Structure 1
Amino acid sequence: MRRYHLLAVSLLGVSTMLSAQTVLYHSKVIEPKPMSLAEFPVSKSYTDGMKVIQADFSDPDVTAFTHVEYAKKSGMALHLNILTPAQEIGAVSAPKYPLIVYVQGSAWMKQEMHSMPQLIKMAKKGYVIAIVEYRHSAVAGFPAQTEDTKTAIRFMKKNGEKYNADTSKIVLWGDSSGGHTVLMTAVTVNQNKFDDEGQDKDPISLKAVIDFYGPTDISKMNKEPSTWDHITDKSPEGMFLGGVNVLENPDKVKPTIPMNYVAQDQTIPPILIAHGNKDRLVPFGQSVMMFDALKKNNKDAVMYQINGADHGGAPFWSKEMLEIVDQFIQQHLK
């Protein structure tokens, strides 16, 4: 009995000693708490020989969320690639950024989402960018691409908070066939046309639209010099119409022309158009026709001719051009 009694006393002593050490340890611990970077104290630790440089915040990080499924249509899963300014580590709350929904051009064929690196430049300026995959012409012709864009916008409206998007500030942007798609989306969004969900059930409001060298009347593409066939049933435009000759099917062409939806009594968001005057694929005159229709009907529009530029490429992603786009967007977000 005595042996067990002594053991109990000994264990009690160890317990008391450990408790005292734990109290001493906790007295040296700084409990974690949420703080912004501005509030967080500068470390006082120092060692001889270390070098010091000043933090440069001029080139912010961007986070990419790839292959985010937003719908299934015609047996095809459709995805978004989403770019968002990186959230500050340890931030109590994240700021919200205007949302750009971008439609990558592809001659309406299967898209290669190769504009993501260039669009990072815009994300760094403070935008969430959702790059849309649409049904390509081998799966579904017109108006599937416009329908899919509206579906993608509504997906981002419902899920934008996950990506720090301010979905009260939505901008559309597209290049080439994506330019045509965003124009068609913009001029029909308030007419309840080419819409799987319905504008009356789930309204879309657009602050601004940017069209980079999009076709606007596919029946007139070969009325200017071009390196591509735009007429036969195997041409991109023919496939877009369902595999038919473009000039032999004016009734199929007519609903694809965005100018046909521009009217004085129609509400259309502000539109910026940019096009190179040496475009070998989509003639420059295609943008002139669209701009003329907008001006004739007193719509808010601006057009930039990029002298010497071809179909896309570096001139459209230059510092000057991106600044023009950024200023246009900011002007219409107010």
Structure 2
Amino acid sequence: MTQSLPAQLDLGWPPPPFLAPPPPLVSPDGVRRFDGATYATTPGYRPRLLDVHVPAADGPVPVVVWIHGGGWLEGDRRYPPPTIPVDLLHGSVLQAGLALVCVDYRHSLEAPFPAQLHDVKAALRYLRRFADSFGIDKDRIGVWGESAGGHLAALAGLVSPDGPEGPALEGGVGICDEDSTVQAVVDWYGVSELSSLLSHALPPPPSGMEYPNPFTALLGGTADQQPELARAASPVTYAGTATPPPFLLIHGTSDSLVPYSQSEVLAEALERVGGEVTLQPVDGADHIFLGVPDVTPIVAESVAFLARHLRV
């Protein structure tokens, strides 16, 4: 007797550009988890996955899309930085009545920019296509990222499908006929203007470890191409191309990897076009909020901002 494959595994050839969501796992508190949904595939690359956590609710709930950091070179949707306990991050979002979506994206040595933004945009379109399956509200989606993920969150908020940059930054991976806009952005110590960082001195890696320059690795290209590539990859480039959603920028004032001035530049650009933006400095904090004895208030402020603007 021949046993047939489940629908989401019966791929055929060539493989489809995305898969339908897997069945949820339901925890005792009613939270439904859809783990490892394949939101985009590209020949030659690993499938891009996302996890969806939906709190118990009577109807569709707003969504927060978490975008991990790691210098665009590493990182994993399942793990926030070591300074942010995963239970604190996930629990704070779910307890606020928000669904949490954690996404992976291609790293820069797999594919340079704009592949990372293409993946984030594809994830947003996937969520809208399958909103009913997940039990989420496709009209209330916010993005929240840290470091490299903060950069991608800012771009997701500023790059419009109908903007002058057109399809070049929307990409053509995964589902292509859904909206990729978002209604709120939280950006933790993200890069906003890459040109000035091409010559920025980085902290030395641990002894004996070689580590690529994350900024030039993201951009790819030759040295003479990088200034224009840096402009194209900088959120400030797009701050005036469409009406921006509300932004919350939180950044340590002693950040040695991504200077605090990066968030100042983006805040100023958004203010010039009448955008709603809040810049919250964290005095004395280094990257990933190193030096902060208790990150709970920072997480709480971020969740409250998202809940307010997604109208929970």
TM surpasses 0.5: yes
Contact 1:228 1:281 in 2 (8 A): no
Contact 2:145 2:188 in 1 (8 A): yes
2:122 to 113, 128, 151: 151
Whole-angstrom CA distance in 2 between matches of 1:81 and 1:311: 26
Specify the alignment match of 2:215 in structure 1.
237
Instruction: Check 1:180–1:316 CA distance in 2 against 1; reply closer, same or farther (3 A cut).
Output: farther
Instruction: Check 1:242–1:217 CA distance in 2 against 1; reply closer, same or farther (3 A cut).
Output: same
Deviates more, 1:281-290 or 1:265-274: 265-274
2:36 to 39, 56, 67: 67
State the shift of 1:283 in Å.
Answer: 1.0
Specify the alignment match of 1:32 in structure 2.
none
Show CA shifts across 1:252-277 (max 9, x none). Answer: 211011111122x6221111100011
1:189-208 alignment runs, 5 A limit: 189-190=160-161, 191=163, 192-193=166-167, 194-197=169-172, 201-208=177-184
Q: Does 1:267 align with 2:231?
A: no
Specify the alignment match of 1:174 in structure 2.
145
AA aligned to 2:171 is D
State the shift of 1:224 in Å.
Answer: 6.4
Specify the alignment match of 2:49 in structure 1.
79
AA aligned to 1:260 is T
**Secondary structure of 2:287's aligned partner:** coil
**Secondary structure of 1:66's aligned partner:** strand
2:66 to 102, 112, 115: 102
Whole-angstrom CA distance in 1 between matches of 2:33 and 2:302: 22
Show CA shifts across 1:183-233 (max 9, x none). Answer: 11211124134112599942234211110100112222377664159xxx9
**Secondary structure of 1:312's aligned partner:** helix
AA aligned to 2:118 is E
Greater relative contact order: 1 or 2 (C-alpha under 8 angstroms, separation 6 or more)?
A: 2
Whole-angstrom CA distance in 2 between matches of 1:69 and 1:153: 13
Instruction: Check 1:221–1:228 CA distance in 2 against 1; reply closer, same or farther (3 A cut).
Output: farther
Instruction: Check 1:218–1:74 CA distance in 2 against 1; reply closer, same or farther (3 A cut).
Output: farther
1:278-317 alignment runs, 5 A limit: 278-313=254-289, 315=292
**Secondary structure of 1:171's aligned partner:** strand
Superposed CA RMSD in Å reads 2.9
Contact 1:118 1:317 in 2 (8 A): no
AA aligned to 1:249 is Q
Corresponding residue pairs, total: 265
Contact 1:103 1:173 in 2 (8 A): yes
Instruction: Check 1:260–1:129 CA distance in 2 against 1; reply closer, same or farther (3 A cut).
Output: same
**Secondary structure of 2:236's aligned partner:** helix
Specify the alignment match of 2:196 in structure 1.
220
Give TM-score, length-normalised by structure 2: 0.76
Instruction: Check 1:290–1:74 CA distance in 2 against 1; reply closer, same or farther (3 A cut).
Output: farther
State the shift of 1:179 in Å.
Answer: 0.7
Whole-angstrom CA distance in 1 between matches of 2:293 and 2:159: 26
1:124 to 70, 88, 95: 95
**Secondary structure of 2:102's aligned partner:** strand
AA aligned to 2:42 is K
1:139 to 102, 110, 115: 110
Instruction: Check 1:218–1:321 CA distance in 2 against 1; reply closer, same or farther (3 A cut).
Output: same
Q: Does 1:253 align with 2:222?
A: no
Whole-angstrom CA distance in 2 between matches of 1:327 and 1:84: 18
State the shift of 1:83 in Å.
Answer: 2.0
**Secondary structure of 2:265's aligned partner:** helix
Whole-angstrom CA distance in 2 between matches of 1:137 and 1:316: 32
Contact 1:63 1:84 in 2 (8 A): yes
Percent of aligned positions that are identical: 26
State the shift of 1:66 in Å.
Answer: 2.5
**Secondary structure of 2:47's aligned partner:** strand
Specify the alignment match of 2:4 in structure 1.
none
- What residue ranges of structure 2 are gaps of 5+ in the alignment? 1-28, 81-85, 206-210
Specify the alignment match of 1:327 in structure 2.
304
